[in-house]
Chains A and B, each alone.
Chain A
Amino acid sequence: GAGVSQTPSNKVTEKGKYVELRCDPISGHTALYWYRQSLGQGPEFLIYFQGTGAADDSGLPNDRFFAVRPEGSVSTLKIQRTERGDSAVYLCASSLGLAGVSYGANVLTFGAGSRLTVL
């Protein structure tokens, strides 16, 4: 697609429930990122995919959080046993996954985010 698409845009759930957030990246972008943004804070890195594999999941806060990208395109962020502290906007971004010296300059294109509210 033309941009990064995230669904749902808003999700309200109860404490203890399971949620899935979906990200559809820009066509051809092999790199995909998930960030979490709490109110008044900057985006916090969660996980990065290069193709189908999670190249860096060091930002996942605990084992309740998991993400997949089975075919190297769409990704799903899964949160088990949600807690009130999980309430935030979950951002997805994608970029060209070019290797080499130009890699660091790759620009991330962000989606509009999925706002998760845990009651």
Chain B
Amino acid sequence: AQSVTQLGSHVSVSEGALVLLRCNYSSSVPPYLFWYVQYPNQGLQLLLKYTSAATLVKGINGFEAEFKKSETSFHLTKPSAHMSDAAEYFCAVRRASASKIIFGSGTRLSIRP
């Protein structure tokens, strides 16, 4: 069965600091991986996706994620946090042949001034 584990339900960083949100996946076959963001009172939006074309994936708003098969990880990073990055972030996985996307439990990112 496929699943994702997001380490840390809440991460707080200072404005301008590095953002690192952790995601580990469990899948018996190479998966497709996604990061979605949910701003307060808004719907889920796609940040970026991994589809095996390149292990380092760049997304919107300066975020990027690196697929590491040996570590079964797909951590999300941003070099310099901005106040507008405060939101809930969800890692998600889908097997190539599967229909459904499985989401992690989410990490709430807070930015300190």
Contacts and interface: CB of A to CB of B under 8 A. Distances in A.
Interface of A: 4, 31, 33, 35, 40-45, 48, 50, 55-56, 58-59, 91, 93, 101, 103-105, 107-113
Interface stretch (B12-20, B60-68, B70-78, B103-111): B103-111
Contacts of A113: 43
Nearest to B42: A112
A45 B102 contact: yes
The dominant DSSP class at the A interface is mixed
Interface of B: 6, 9, 31-32, 34, 36, 42-46, 49, 51, 90, 94-106
Contacts, number: 64
Nearest to B52: A105
Contact of B96 (A40, A103, A110): A103
A91 B101 contact: no
A7 to B, nearest CB: 14
18 contacts: A40-B9, A42-B90, A43-B44, A44-B103, A45-B103, A48-B99, A55-B99, A56-B99, A101-B96, A103-B96, A103-B97, A104-B32, A105-B51, A107-B34, A107-B49, A108-B44, A110-B43, A111-B43
B103 A104 contact: no
Contacts of B45: 110
A59 B102 CA distance: 11
A41 B31 CA distance: 22
Nearest to B102: A45
B100 A56 contact: yes
Q: 5 shortest A-B CB distances, which residue pairs?
A: A42-B103, A104-B96, A105-B51, A104-B32, A110-B44
Given A42-B106, A111-B43, A112-B43, A104 B100 contact: no
Nearest to B32: A104
B99 A42 contact: no
B101 A45 contact: yes
Given A104-B94, A112-B43, A45 B49 contact: no
